[in-house]
Structure 1
Amino acid sequence: MAVQETILQHPILTRFAFPFLLIFFIVFALLEKTELFGEGKKQLNALISFVIGLIFVSVLYPTEVVGNLILFLTVALIVMFVGLMLWGFVSGESLKENFLKNKGVKWTVGIVLVIAVIMALLWATGIHGGILDLLFNQTWSSALWTNLLFVVVIAVALAVVLKNSD
């Protein structure tokens, strides 16, 4: 049984047009917002975005990395949407009232997002296995992580004690 392919799955679109349009619009929006080449220079910004988009799609590796990052982004957006829906169902309150005003929550979410983006970049570029082996499968890695955890625990304990003494 043959799998049917739609027009949106055609290789011309998936390997050239979609990545080109994505990079073109992102670069054009950044150039327009920053006014890097001056105010009202839409044609120059469009031409520069066009050239950058063409250079981008002419090389396979960056196109594949961005494609993988887009996959991560779509899954992350769906997970966040479901999490926010569940939060709304359970609490019945707006996020602005109690969730977003808490600085601890903001820092936690920020740190989780930075870690997620780093993990996504490592996965999208295909170098995650080498880094994980370097960090966790060496003869010295268990001693390093034990000592690092010990230093972090001491630093947190000192921060709590010094904060409470003020």
Structure 2
Amino acid sequence: MTAEINAYQRVAGEAIFEIGKRLKHVKENDLAHGEFQRWCEDEAKVPYRQANRFMKVVDEVPIEKMTTSSHLGLNALYEIATLPPAERDQPHTIPSSGETKTVDEMTVRELREVKQALKVAREENVVTIRHRCRIYLMVYLYYMKSQRSSRNPNLTATILSRDRKRR
């Protein structure tokens, strides 16, 4: 019985990739621009959003990973496909449990948690970079002010008076 279950899981996983390949082929080769959504829903009876997920998995999950990922469902594969490429092969710590797992060992909920944590970390990094840029700009402007004032003492008074008026 276990062998049968594993075989059906493998078939189901492979079907995700095959469906995605065929949807992508139809979209790129068989339909005029703008017809794909109608075709998906009316002809193929596949919701448009789900069709896009199938195609995203085909585009982003390498074929050699298919055999190791064939036990995963469409939602888990889609979450993996939408991770930044550099993050797909690394183990991650799941924020809610503290466990470290690779992406193919995680549930959909765990994948979403990890993606959210990565997004927050990226946003914090961007804020830090912006803050550093502002500091560097302020230091540069202060330096330029001091350079000008040493050459022209009246310029310092002009700059300071402009700064006071702005406040």
Bigger Rg, structure 1 or 2: 2
Decide which structure has greater helix share: 1
Q: TM-score, normalised by structure 2?
A: 0.29
Q: TM-score, normalised by structure 1?
A: 0.29
